[in-house]
Amino acid sequence: MRSYRKELWFEVPGRRSFINITPKVQEALAESGVREGLVLVNAMHITASVFINDDEPGLHRDYEEWLEELAPHEPVDHYSHNRTGEDNGDAHLKRQVMGREVVVAVTDGALDFGPWEQIFYGEFDGGRRKRVLIKIIGD
């Protein structure tokens, strides 16, 4: 069995963003040489997410609005976490809802997706460098 590891780095200038990272994951899969196995993709920061869904701008706006309703950024003093000097209590909650990682099957050297599925990096507290881990195992 083979094992392959790669890190992706992101620095989103704004507070929040959704970035389609499917091409980067596909590139890592090709580099790995794995034809049958699994790909794990996970955010290595507690205010960022990796998830699978459709790459449709309206859906991304819906996510943005829905997450802001669930956990609004302001007022920042609404969150106990922010009493430590942080202002990102909402980002921790948004990450919890959107998830930490995804696992995708690899079949015949390709990501074995359902219709419209793509992998996204979700940033909820941008402005600093963060990483995503890609771990691929298989034959």
Cβ 94 vs Cβ 124: under 8 Å: yes
Closest CA to 25 of 111, 131, 114: 111
Mean pLDDT of 103-118: 98
Mean pLDDT of the chain: 97
- When pLDDT is averaged across residues 119-123 and rounded to a whole number, the result is 98
Q: Kindly report, residue by residue over 31-79, the tens digit of the pLDDT.
A: 999 999 999 999 999 999 999 999 999 999 999 999 999 999 999 999 9
Global pTM value: 0.95
Cβ neighbour number for residue 96 with a 10 Å cutoff: 13
Q: What is the pLDDT of residue 21?
A: 98
Contacting residues for 3 by C-beta, under 8 A, at least 6 apart: 135, 136, 137
Going along the chain from its start, the domains and CATH numbers come out as 2-59+96-138 (2.60.120.460)
> To which H or E segment does residue 27 belong?
helix 22-32
pLDDT of residue 89: 95
